[in-house]
A and B are shown apart, each in its own frame.
Chain A
Amino acid sequence: MKQFPYTEKKDTRSGFGVGILEAGRKNPNVVALCADLVASLKLDAFIKEFPDRFTQVGIAEANMIGIAAGMTIGGKIPFTSTFANFSTGRVYDQIRQSVAYAGTNVKICASHAGLTLGEDGATHQILEDLGMMKMLPGMVVINPCDYNQTRAATMAIAEYEGPVYLRFGRPVIPVFTDPDQPFEIGKAWMVNEGTDVTIVATGHLVWESIQAAEKLEQEGISAEIINIHTIKPLDEEAILKSVSKTGCVVTAEEHNRFGGLGDSVAQLLITRMLAPQEFVAVNDSFGESGTPAQLMKKYGLDADGIIAAVKRVLKRKEA
């Protein structure tokens, strides 16, 4: 299988920090807002270079979303930033009315998503955000897989006209995607071609899928890995093309099994191409405190969890 050598590990939130700085240099209308989490969101460089294009709103996320929506009147492109929990669940109605329904050009940028937030525990580990955001008509939902992809996605959404939810995280993971990758919203990335099973992965689970595929290869199982960085709109053709070849699919995401990428893939398959599917996702529970690695292992969101799901789905395919 394809090799993914890497020389460094970084957090995806740092990709956001660099991406928004570069987007800001390219387009003077790019402005940033933050709700008292500047360092966590890696916004220092943007604020240093563009102090007049940054708005500190304090611990008042509802106000932040409304202000961002208002800022679009007159042509600004506001990027709101806080933890994923406070970017979605806390402000769902504000997003629904003033961003999604109003169709305002707001980019909701959300860090510390999922279990890998770690020790802060379940109050902060949102596992429902992809579902909430993808249910909003017109909302683009993106969950990049590493530093480089997050940087590219951040720059790409500045060029896109309309509401976007961009989800990234805290843990330091290998930087394995191309630093100069083009990022096309809604276009899947074929990570590795294979023949026996399709692994559709998003976010931090893409690296875990690569680890899983390497081990599966040693057992003679050829896994195709597709990176869906854009949960919505979903690259349906890429998934169908792969599943028509492999005949089964495992979806992998750092999210509740209800409402996430797996749901979207299942809905696609049930209407277009029946095939067995297994879910690597949190099984309808809250998280808890622990290190990111401990949590991903405990909740089955690591390479071992993916391997187990592949074996289950292959058994069903053969049956």
Chain B
Amino acid sequence: MNDIATLQKIASQVRRDIVRMVHGVQSGHPGGSLGCTDFMVALYFRTMKHDPAFNKDAIGEDLFVLSNGHISPLFYSVLARAGYFPVAELSTFRKINSRLQGHPATHEHLPGVRMASGSLGQGLSVAIGAAITKKRNNDDRLVFSLHGDGELQEGQIWEGAMFAPHNNIDNLIMTVDVNGQQIDGPVSKVLSLGNLRAKFEAFGWDVMESEGNDMEKITSALEHAKTLTGKGKPVCNLMHTQMGFGVDFMMNNHKWHGTAPNDEQLATALAQLDETLGDY
């Protein structure tokens, strides 16, 4: 099992990958990617049982569904660093003839991706479906999903939120990246989500909250989430993060949702992030 220091080193490299990938093609979404880095590193390098040999059906493995597909730079970096495909391929992100499409695609057969995402609001339903199949296959591994907070404005999320507790989908841990930002500004101004804990609890979920940008805290939060599974209720982890975490000028600013850094900004960003595993 990777210790916290090791996970932090991986996270630093993944953050370098993210800003370099987005800079390299002058396109992509660094803000949410950086904010969710600690969570996804914890998930893939400690919490989940998974095999980079990639069995698409995930039999006997935990599986992850990325619903907010625009944080693909993070997803790709973590998959590559975990051994799903060569790290060098990260340089092809969003470029022509690449398996690393702007938003995750199964179409290009990139190992580690089991579902297309990008059009928001669909991943909770997909995760629920995968969780049902796990139960029917007597597979006791878990399904994890990640969603943006702005994404919760999509109605389909609430169809899923209603369905999962009614059907006792208790092998599912849904994490919401509560960073309070979306493209047009703060979520509270664009379309307030109100009291998310109360909403999910009212729908019948087991709700917990976590700090997403502290490796020790997010790692233990995920361990805690696992202890809540198998008790008849789906688990909702409201994870508080800062968009752009790790790069000071990108932090907490919705302008970095989908903007690429220029050369100077890249240099500033990389100076804040240690190269721990070697750049691609």
Contact = CB atoms under 8 A, between A and B. Distances in A.
A66 B122 contact: yes
Contacts of B136: 31, 52-53, 74, 76
B116 A101 contact: yes
A192 B151 CA distance: 54
A57 B139 contact: no
Interface string A85-117: 000000001101110011110000000000000
A31 B136 CA distance: 10
B58 A73 contact: yes
Given A66-B122, A103-B106, A73 B115 contact: yes
B128 A74 contact: no
A58 interface: yes
A68 B129 contact: yes
Contacts, number: 118
A63 B163 contact: yes
A31 B133 CA distance: 10
B110 to A, nearest CB: 12
Interface string B22-62: 00000000000000000000000000000000001111000
Contacts of A31: 136
A62 B124 CA distance: 11
A74 B125 contact: no
A97 B122 contact: yes
B125 A71 contact: no
B160 interface: yes
A75 B114 CA distance: 12
B126 A69 contact: yes
A58 B164 CA distance: 12
A62 B155 contact: yes
Interface residues of B, number: 39
B129 A78 contact: yes
Contact of B114 (A67, A73, A78): A73
B116 A71 contact: no
A65 interface: yes
Chain A at the B interface: SS class: helix
A55 interface: yes
Contacts of B102: none
Contacts of B63: 73
A48 B123 CA distance: 30
B160 A70 contact: no
Contacts of A293: none
Contact of A67 (B56, B107, B128, B139): B128
Contacts of B133: 70-76
Contacts of B121: 62
A60 interface: yes
A69 B115 contact: yes
Given A58-B163, A71-B133, A74-B133, A97 B118 contact: yes
A101 B133 CA distance: 21
B129 A102 contact: no
Nearest to B107: A101
Listed residue (A65, A68, A98) with the most chain B CB atoms within 10 angstroms of its CB: A98
Contacts of B127: 70
B134 interface: yes
B156 interface: yes
A64 B59 CA distance: 23
Contacts of B107: 101-103
Nearest to A93: B119
Contacts of A78: 129
Contacts of B159: 57, 60, 62-63
A94 B122 contact: yes
B115 A63 contact: no
A97 B162 CA distance: 22
A73 B56 contact: yes
B132 interface: yes
A289 B192 CA distance: 42
Contact of B139 (A64, A74, A98): A74
Contacts of B58: 73-74
A73 B107 CA distance: 15
Interface of B: 56-59, 63, 65, 105-107, 114-119, 121-134, 136-137, 139, 155-156, 159-160, 162-163, 167
Given A72-B133, A74-B57, 5 more contacts: A66-B122, A66-B125, A97-B118, A98-B115, A101-B106
20 contacts: A52-B136, A57-B163, A58-B162, A63-B163, A67-B125, A67-B129, A70-B128, A70-B130, A70-B133, A73-B58, A73-B63, A74-B59, A74-B133, A74-B134, A75-B133, A97-B118, A97-B122, A102-B106, A102-B107, A103-B107
Across chains A and B, which 6 residue pairs bring their CB atoms closest together, nearest first? A66-B125, A70-B129, A63-B159, A74-B133, A70-B126, A67-B129
